[in-house]
A and B are shown apart, each in its own frame.
Chain A
Amino acid sequence: MRRYFGRKILIYLLTFFLAVTIDWLIPRFMPGNPVQNMLARVALHPEAAEALRSYFTKAFGLDVPLWQQYLNFWIALFHGDLGISVYMFPTPVAEVLKRAVPYDLFLLIPSILLSWWAGNKFGAFAARSKWLDNTILPLSYILTATPYMWLGILLAWFFGIVLGWFPIAGAYSFSLRPSLTLAFIGSVFHHWFLPFASLFLVDFGGWAIGMRNMIIYELEADYSHYLAALGAPQKLIRKYAFNNAVLPQITGLALKLGVVVAGALVTEVVFSYPGIGYLLLAAIQNQDYFLIQGCFLFIIIGVLLANFLIDIVYVLVDPRTRRGMTGETA
């Protein structure tokens, strides 16, 4: 087991290093100069502009050679300093991200967990009877083939505009201030529901299909045949099949995270939901180096952490890994 985790941690560290390097590198190839853009916003005297430019260049650390910027970046990173946002000057990037992150977690965690749970349950049902299979399966295929943003658009249009049951912009009503009142909390959930549902439904389809296939596969396994030959009730056979089928689904969850995060990104754009996705978009449109880096970094760290967590869960759940035998089944 030590070997198993040791390997995993090494990969994660390598990934982190590579990702951070890419993260730092690519925004620097973007056309345009962030300082210039900022100055363009303010109409200035040429001399004043020049003085401001040199000030900002120093402030953003853009006056030192590239390799030193790279080193400074790592050092700052370990201090939790992600630079100052150009788009929302003078707010530090870390601050901007901190405000957005809770919304992402609020959206992603329930939708990932619930869709995984519900999808697995329904997938297991589908494997049980022909009738259920013929209804759940086609529905799941349609859902998983639906692009995230289109489902978001449809839900926003139908339930938001046509029926008017839900709002389609923001995290809470613009007329309210954040407070622990029932009205505020209600508004938060009211605004949260459609983006959540959109993510949930698409992911649900994928899990349902996967689980149904895994269960069918497990029902064909030797241990299932043995139990049947000994006259064990279908309930026991199905229970064992389910327990075995869940394991690759856990691994699958880790693999799907990148896709789900991308889905959350576009969903936030559709619903103007103030998460990191929405922030990233604005950052790109405003060529905000540091904010882009920060967003990207946070996404990477989040995905790596989640992967690691899932790996731990897997080891806890599959007794074979604990006994020092094979690693994941996927």
Chain B
Amino acid sequence: MGLQVENLTLYYQTLRGDVHALENVTFTIDDGEIMGLAGESGCGKTTLAHGLISLAPPMKYISGKILLDGEALPIWDSRKMDAFRFRKISIIPQYAMNAMNPIRKIGKMIEELLSAKKVDYQALLPELKRRLDLVKLPHDVLNMYPIELSGGMKQRMVMVISSLLNPSLLIADEITSALDVSSQKAVAEMLVEFRNQGYCKSALVITHDISILYQLADSILIMYAGQLVEKGPTAEIIHNPRHPYTKLLISSLPEIGVKYAERKLNGIPGKPPLLLDPPAGCRFRERCPLAFDKCYQVPPFVEVSAGHFIACWKETDGHA
């Protein structure tokens, strides 16, 4: 069960041609799993999130199969997707601070949204209040306008709304990016609690901040330039990364206690490729210190140890 994505390919239509934003992406998220999705800006993580739940022009569906709890998810058909949205798959958007109608009381907005989806608001109200308690929001917030809430409060409110119908998959798109560090920790813990309480079966947490993933994710998926690079249990990715890109990424994180007068902070020289006309084979090839001629072919995403996948010829060449 859970989410099964097979060979998903999504492009962006632009005046200059198609941008190959997502290329043959295959992975699964099991029930109860919180998977983090990390990578540089423009690697395709937001494309993936939006593609799963609100695929619309200029995004174009090219190919791929999605199964959620064994049921096919018709992401190319927005009409049909409406039945799944909010109920089976939901999203806490990146713009959560502005996600609520500014001229409607929050409770009224939820009521109208629910009745539009044919759900009884009154019946759900006690559960809604319980959840407000969990995220430490006063019940009174339902009588307020969004403008009366602080940024953090709005974020938590949207978290509650998005997970209200207990979706199978909850996508969290950069939910900690706009917050201060202590709020970040609180929100991360809330998300884990959501999963523990069954408010969502599994979650896909998108962020460019790997340190947060260390706090809340069971597994981490690393993307680069629209391709999958490595996936594995959090501890393994952080402490024992196998892919050259992941290694460079982890080592470029600042560590507490280390003085940088002694050791310089490493970056990764170069820039991600433009996806209008992507390079052949592994897209990290041009910046990879270990690249060799086989890298002109796209490396398959293979399992090298339990639950640990990697797309790299250097690492997998030894295996079958």
Contact = CB atoms under 8 A, between A and B. Distances in A.
A touches B (Cβ under 8 A): yes
Interface in A230-257: 230-233, 235-236, 240, 243-244, 247
A45 to B, nearest CB: 74
Contact of B98 (A223, A228, A319): A223
Nearest to A221: B98
Interface in B136-194: 145, 147-148, 158, 161-162
B12 interface: no
Contacts of A320: 102-103, 145, 147
Nearest to B161: A230
Contacts, number: 74
Which residue among B84, B93, B103, B104 has the maximum number of chain A CB atoms within 10 Å of its CB? B103
Contacts of B90: 229-230
Contacts of B104: 240, 243
A231 B148 contact: no
A104 to B, nearest CB: 34
A202 B114 CA distance: 41
Contacts of A225: 54, 93, 95, 99
Contact of B101 (A223, A230, A247, A323): A223
Nearest to A241: B101
B101 A240 contact: yes
A120 to B, nearest CB: 16
Contact of A232 (B53, B98, B113): B113
Contacts of B147: 320, 323, 325
A133 interface: no
A193 interface: no
Contacts of A247: 103
Nearest to B56: A228
B116 A232 contact: yes
B161 to A, nearest CB: 8
A323 B148 contact: yes
A233 B93 contact: no
A316 to B, nearest CB: 12
Interface residues of A, number: 23
A47 interface: no
Interface of chain A, helix or strand or loop or mixed?
Answer: helix
B262 to A, nearest CB: 45
Given A231-B83, A231-B84, A319-B145, A222 B99 contact: yes
A318 interface: yes
A247 B101 CA distance: 13
Contact of A319 (B95, B103, B117, B162): B103
B93 A229 contact: yes
B81 A231 contact: yes
B98 A231 contact: no
Interface string A292-330: 000000000000000000000000001110010100000
A228 B54 CA distance: 8
A226 B53 CA distance: 11
B86 A223 contact: no
B236 interface: no
B89 to A, nearest CB: 9
A223 B117 CA distance: 17
Contacts of A318: 103
A323 B85 CA distance: 33
A230 B86 contact: yes
B148 A222 contact: no
Contacts of A9: none
Given A247-B103, A318-B103, A230 B162 contact: yes
Interface string B76-116: 00000111111100110101001111111100000011001
Given A230-B162, A231-B86, A323-B148, A223 B116 contact: no
A242 to B, nearest CB: 11
Interface string A37-71: 00000000000000000000000000000000000
Given A230-B90, A231-B117, A236-B113, A243 B82 contact: no
A233 to B, nearest CB: 5
Given A230-B86, A230-B90, A235-B116, 5 more contacts: A223-B101, A228-B54, A229-B91, A232-B117, A323-B148
Interface of B: 53-54, 81-87, 90-91, 93, 95, 98-105, 112-113, 116-117, 145, 147-148, 158, 161-162
17 contacts: A221-B98, A225-B99, A226-B93, A226-B95, A226-B99, A226-B158, A228-B54, A229-B90, A229-B93, A230-B86, A230-B113, A230-B117, A231-B85, A232-B116, A232-B117, A243-B103, A244-B102
